[in-house]
Amino acid sequence: MKNYKVGKKLAISYITIMFLLILGSIVNIRNLIEVGERVESFYDGPFNVRGSVNSVSVNFESLQKSMLRAIANEDSQIIGDSVLAADESKVNIQAELPVISEHFLGDQQIVEELDTLFSEVFPMNQHVLELASKNQDQEALDYMEAYIRPVNTNIRKNINLIITSSNNKGIELINAVRQARTNSIVSLAVLTVLSIGISVGFALYITRSITRPISELEQAAEWLASGKMHDVSITYNSGDELGGLADSMRITIARITFVINDLTYLLKQISESNFAIDTRNESEYVGEFRPLLDSIRQMTTDLSDTIKQINSSADQVAGGSEQVSYGAQELAAGSSEQALTVETLADTISRLAEKIGSNAYDASNANKKAGVVGHEMEESNERMKKMLSAMDDISSSSEQIKKIIDTIEEIAFQTNILALNAKVEAARAGVSGKGFAVIADEVQQLSAKSKEATRSTSALISESLSAVENGLMIANETADSLQNVVIGVKEIVAAVENISAASSEQSESVEQLTQNISQIAGVVQNNSATAEESAAASEELSGQAETLKNLISAFRLK
């Protein structure tokens, strides 16, 4: 079975086990059938016969008792009942005899003899019952003693023989059933032990036939995983799947070993600057190994091309480095001149920055002073506005006074008229009106004086109003002039602020420019130093390019 497939081995083991199970089932079923048949024979034979014989025996004894009771009693009712009971027992016996004849497993001659005896005794019993019915009891007893007793003795004998035979046959059947049971248990136990033994044997055999090669293959896989190619050894050979797997593992390990050794050889040659190489057996590079060989070939080709390009570039670098060295020297000289020019420019800008700073300072002071003047002009303008407001108030008050004077003048006029009227009335009154006339004269004089004073005051107020109007006009003109001056001063302040801000910005710009010039000077100096270093590096690069060409010449290119 070593060269059988694993599936075939398992199939054989399963089929064998199934065969043993089926065989055990068949044997067990056969034993069960045998036991069933024997039990059925026991039930149909001795068991039923025993029951029927017992029934015959009971009915036979009942028949005898019925006859004796019929003989012993003279009551016709009891005799009738006894006859009926006897007939019933007879019928029961006749019903059981065929059953006994059919199922009795012993000597049938005994059953036939019993049937014959009953056939003989039934008419005799009938004759005895007839005698008892006629109350001929003694004749009935004598007849029973003479003819029926011997037959009854033989009947009991045959019944006992049938019972004994049935019991013996029943015991025989029971023993046979027990033996069949024992045989079934033994055969089932033997088949079970045999099945278990064969199953264990197959299990051990198949398990070992699987685990041993798998263990060997597992060990080989562990060595393979750890890179120990030379330690891998697979000795298992078989025609099953595991044997095929072992063969495949051997081929795989051999191929991997070759590929690793070949790649080691190729990489070693590459490390020794030999690119004109190739594999020793291209046919081993199959499947996923093929890209490794293609990659090595592509790598050697690319390295060869790269080194060729490096060689060409080294020639170009050697030539270019000389030009760079010459240009760097010229750049260093130009950078030195630029540094001198930048220093001169920085000095000039520094002086310009000082002047711009001074201008910014003066502009700032002028801005402050212009701000103060503008503030004072604004205050003067506010005072002028207040004065104009006061003159407006004076003009308004003068107008009010003029109106009052006009009223006083009107009152003086009315007073004068009243004085004239009073004088006229005093003249009419005569002597009694003289005192009143004097008062009227005084009032008239007072009215005249008031009118004169009012005219003088009105003239003065008119002159004052004229002067106020003239002063108001002049004040308005002065206020307008001051307003224009304030606006001009504000514009001057704004212009001075702009000049101051511009001067500050110029000062900051010049400072920034000075810093930038300083940075430019530093950069120019760095450029000069870098140019000198570049010249030195170019000379060094030229030497390195020559060294690189010497190194490249050691490679063997495709």
Closest Cα to residue 111, out of 61, 38, 56?
A: 56
Q: Residues 430-459: what's their mean pLDDT?
A: 68
Please say if the pLDDT value at position 498 is more than 70.
Answer: yes
- pLDDT per position as a tens digit, 73-122: 888 888 888 889 988 988 988 888 888 777 777 778 888 888 888 888 88
pLDDT of 43 higher than 60: no
Kindly state the DSSP code that residue 274 receives in the 8-state scheme: B
And the tokens for 21?
Answer: 């199970």
Name the phi and psi angles at 239, rounded to 5.
-90, 5
Q: What is the mean pLDDT of residues 429-455?
A: 68
What are residue 475's DSSP bridge partners? none
75: DSSP letter: -
Q: Token pair of 32, please?
A: 């069960």
| pLDDT, average across residues 260-266 | 79
Identify the pLDDT of residue 541: 66
Among 88-92, 255-259, 348-352, whose mean pLDDT is lowest? 348-352
Which of 223-227, 305-309, 391-395 shows the lowest per-residue confidence on average (mean pLDDT)? 391-395
Q: Which residue has the higher pLDDT, 378 or 367?
A: 378
Q: Which residue has the higher pLDDT, 58 or 492?
A: 58
Check residues 291 and 452 and name the one with the higher pLDDT: 291
Task: Assign 193 a pLDDT band (cuts: 50, 70, 90).
Answer: confident
What DSSP character marks residue 285?
Answer: -
CA 419 from chain center: how many Å?
A: 126
Mean predicted lDDT score pLDDT of the chain: 73
pLDDT, mean of residues 361-390 = 64
- What number is the average pLDDT over the span 181-193? 82
Tell which wins on pLDDT, 255 or 435: 255
**pLDDT at position 111, please?**
81
What is residue 512's predicted lDDT score, i.e. its pLDDT? 78
What mean pLDDT do residues 461-485 have? 69
Radius of gyration of the chain from its Cα atoms, rounded to whole angstroms: 82
Look at residue 311 in the predicted model and tell me its pLDDT. Answer: 66
Percent of the chain with pLDDT over 70: 61
Alpha carbon 542 to its chain centroid, in Å, reads 62
Q: Residue 182 has what pLDDT? A: 85
Q: How many residues does the chain have?
A: 558
Does the pLDDT at position 370 exceed 60? no
CB atoms inside a 10 Å sphere around CB 2: 11
Domains of the chain: 6-213 (1.20.1420), 304-552 (1.10.287.950)
pLDDT tens for residues 118-165?
A: 888 889 988 888 888 888 888 988 898 888 889 888 988 988 888 887
**What's the CA angle centered on 342, arms 336 and 347, to 5 degrees?**
135
Residue burial 26-46, b: 16+ Cβ < 10 Å; e: rest: ebeeebeebbeebbebbeebb
pLDDT of residue 72: 84
pLDDT at site 387 = 62
* 342 close to 538: Cβ distance less than 8 angstroms: no
Q: How sure is the predictor about 484, in pLDDT bands with cuts at 50, 70 and 90?
A: confident
Lowest model confidence (mean pLDDT) among 185-189, 387-391, 511-515, 520-524? 387-391
Phi then psi dihedrals of residue 274, to 5 deg:
-110, 105
User: Tokens standing for 296?
Assistant: 């090595």
The vertex-455 CA angle with 453 and 458, nearest 5°, equals: 105
When pLDDT is cut at 50, 70 and 90, the band that residue 479 belongs to is low
